[in-house]
Amino acid sequence: MCIPGFNVTNDIFAENAWYFRNALVRANYTNLQKNIHETTEYLELFLRNLLLDEKNVLRNRTMHISGYFSEKVDIETEKVDIETEKVDIETEKVDIGSLKFSKRTVHHIEILFDEYGYNRVFGRSDVMDLVGLKRSAVSKLISKLLETGIIEPVTGHGKGKYKFKHKV
Residue 71 lies in a domain: no
pLDDT value of position 49: 84
Read off the pLDDT band of 93 (50, 70, 90).
Answer: very low
Please give the Cα distance from 148 to 105 (Å, whole number).
13
Beta bridge partners of 164: 151
Residue 106 sits in a domain whose CATH number is: 1.10.10.10
User: Which residue intervals of the chain are DSSP H helices?
Assistant: 11-15, 17-28, 41-52, 103-116, 124-131, 135-147
pLDDT value of position 166: 77
Query: Which range has highest mean pLDDT (5-19, 22-36, 72-86, 121-135)?
Result: 121-135
**Per-residue pLDDT tens over the stretch 27-66:** 898 888 877 888 898 889 888 888 888 888 888 888 777 6
Rounded (5°) CA angle 139-144-146: 95
The residue among 82, 154, 141 whose CA lies nearest residue 111 is: 141
The residue among 136, 142, 84, 135 whose CA lies nearest residue 108 is: 142
Residue 85 lies in a domain: no
Same domain for 56 and 18, yes or no, is yes
Residue 150 lies in a domain: yes
Same domain for 104 and 49, yes or no, is no
Q: Is residue 80 over pLDDT 60?
A: no
pLDDT value of position 91: 44
Q: Is residue 162 over pLDDT 90?
A: yes
Residue 68 lies in a domain: no
Q: How far is CA 155 from CA 13, 122, 158, 167, 168, in A?
A: 27, 12, 7, 19, 20
| DSSP sequence for 124-146 | HHHHHHHH---HHHHHHHHHHHH
Residue 75 lies in a domain: no
Residue 36's domain comprises 2-63
The residue among 102, 112, 95, 96 whose CA lies nearest residue 61 is: 112
> Which pTM was predicted?
0.42
Average pLDDT on 152-156 reads: 89
Residue 131 lies in a domain: yes
Give the chain's domain count.
2
Please give the Cα distance from 72 to 53 (Å, whole number).
25
